[in-house]
């Protein structure tokens, strides 16, 4: 545990603002619970969490699109525990296969309900007076999504790019399909018009917004990237293809332009002002150059700064009546694995 705790992987990486890497902060919400004692989180997860998670409304599938697609009377307003065999920690396989589409059923049944021997999860304090079951679920869900780190996407190229961290995080979100595009908002029951705010022609998805929208195509053309022919593809496939064929410098520009396009899109949505494609490309390149120049000059100082910050950090006692959940995670590149842990 301490070994993992020492590798505070994401510390400072989101600059404290903007993208929330994982929703750990949600874990500290107050809620009466009590008397958990020493329980394995996985058992706890299954027994309690299942009763709090809506089958159709919550993002609980281990997929980049974590929502159930199936619409069936039997599952409306029901919670996930309804899909388990009564009093057992097991999926009701027949039921799941009957009700859900093949895709949903496969994802549901792929969620292991029994803990593996590899992990051990403990709640340290016996008097857990405030604890949110749902928020813990959200964290577990994030972890499950994180297990996609082992997928075939060439993450290493992305993380090794010399571009601002916020841009890498943005790309990560785009690949994970967790940008607030109109299609995503709709799938979360947020009432919005589904059309792309830039072209007003097609449903806005990550792929549309960053690749297949007329505006995006114009940007790519300006950057010397040939336009896509297959508009049905996904952003992941598109970026994978870019990673295959681009040298680093070009790839840096590609991700910067993605970021810049998204920034431009947000300007249109929130401030009713956006630039031309040429402006988007120009600012993407300018930002990249500025950032890289600054990096070259101050990288050593930057490292010093990071180390100083490390020393300053001290654990502080939680306020009375609240539970502090300490979390950490690390990615072990050599083993292609990750770990995370928490202590309450």
Binding site for Zn ion (CB under 5 A): 196, 198-199, 213
Closest CB to Zn ion among residues 135, 205: 205
Closest CB to Zn ion among residues 136, 213: 213
Closest CB to Zn ion among residues 132, 209: 209
In angstroms, give the least distance from the CB of 202 to Zn ion. Answer: 6
Closest CB to Zn ion among residues 145, 205: 205
In angstroms, give the least distance from the CB of 269 to Zn ion. Answer: 12
Would you give the distance in Å from CA 72 to the centre of its chain? 28
Alpha-carbon gap, residue 198 to 223, rounded angstroms: 19
In angstroms, give the least distance from the CB of 140 to Zn ion. Answer: 35
Closest CB to Zn ion among residues 211, 213: 213
8 Å CB contact between 242 and 254: yes
3-state DSSP helix/strand/coil % of the chain, to nearest 5 = 50, 5, 45
- The tokens for 323 are 């539970």
In angstroms, give the least distance from the CB of 195 to Zn ion. Answer: 8
In angstroms, give the least distance from the CB of 173 to Zn ion. Answer: 19
Closest CB to Zn ion among residues 231, 333: 231
Closest CB to Zn ion among residues 4, 199: 199
Buried/exposed code over 233-244 (b: 16+ C-beta within 10 A; e: otherwise): eebbebbbebbe
In angstroms, give the least distance from the CB of 199 to Zn ion. Answer: 3
Alpha-carbon gap, residue 97 to 109, rounded angstroms: 9
Q: Which helix (H) or strand (E) holds 281?
A: helix 277-312
Q: How many CA atoms lie within 13 A of 20 on its CB side?
A: 9
In angstroms, give the least distance from the CB of 212 to Zn ion. Answer: 8
- The tokens for 305 are 């700064």
8 Å CB contact between 139 and 22: yes
- The tokens for 54 are 């809506």
Alpha-carbon gap, residue 165 to 28, rounded angstroms: 26
């Amino acid at each position: 545990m301490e070994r993992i705790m020492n590798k505070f992987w994401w510390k400072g990486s989101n600059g404290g603002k903007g993208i929330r890497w994982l929703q750990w902060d949600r874990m500290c919400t107050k809620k009466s619970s009590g008397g958990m004692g020493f329980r394995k989180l996985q058992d706890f997860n299954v027994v309690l969490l299942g009763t709090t998670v809506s089958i159709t409304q919550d993002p609980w599938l281990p997929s980049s699109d974590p929502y159930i697609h199936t619409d069936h009377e039997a599952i409306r307003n029901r919670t996930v525990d309804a899909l388990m065999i009564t009093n057992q920690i097991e999926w009701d396989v027949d039921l799941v296969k009957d009700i859900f589409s093949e895709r949903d059923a496969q994802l549901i049944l792929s969620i292991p309900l029994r803990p593996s021997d590899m992990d051990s999860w403990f709640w340290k304090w016996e008097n857990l007076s405030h604890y949110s079951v749902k928020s813990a679920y959200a964290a577990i869900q994030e972890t499950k999504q994180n297990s996609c780190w082992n997928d075939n996407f060439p993450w290493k190229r992305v993380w090794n790019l010399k571009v601002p961290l916020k841009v890498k995080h943005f790309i990560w979100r785009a690949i994970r399909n967790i940008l607030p595009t109109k299609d995503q908002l709709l799938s979360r029951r947020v009432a919005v018009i589904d059309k792309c705010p830039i072209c007003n022609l097609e449903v806005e998805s990550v792929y549309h917004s960053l690749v297949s929208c007329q505006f995006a195509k114009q940007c790519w053309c300006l950057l010397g990237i040939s336009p896509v022919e297959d508009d049905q593809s996904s952003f992941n496939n598109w970026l994978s293809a870019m990673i295959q064929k681009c040298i680093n410098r070009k790839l840096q520009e590609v991700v910067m332009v993605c970021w810049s396009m998204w920034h431009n899109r947000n300007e249109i949505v929130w401030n009713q002002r956006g630039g031309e494609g040429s402006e988007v490309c120009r600012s993407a390149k300018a930002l990249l150059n500025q950032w890289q120049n600054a990096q070259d000059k101050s990288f050593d100082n930057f490292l010093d700064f990071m180390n100083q910050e490390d020393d300053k950090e001290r654990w502080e006692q939680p306020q009375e009546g609240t539970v502090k959940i300490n979390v950490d995670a690390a990615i072990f590149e050599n083993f292609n694995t990750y770990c995370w842990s928490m202590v309450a």
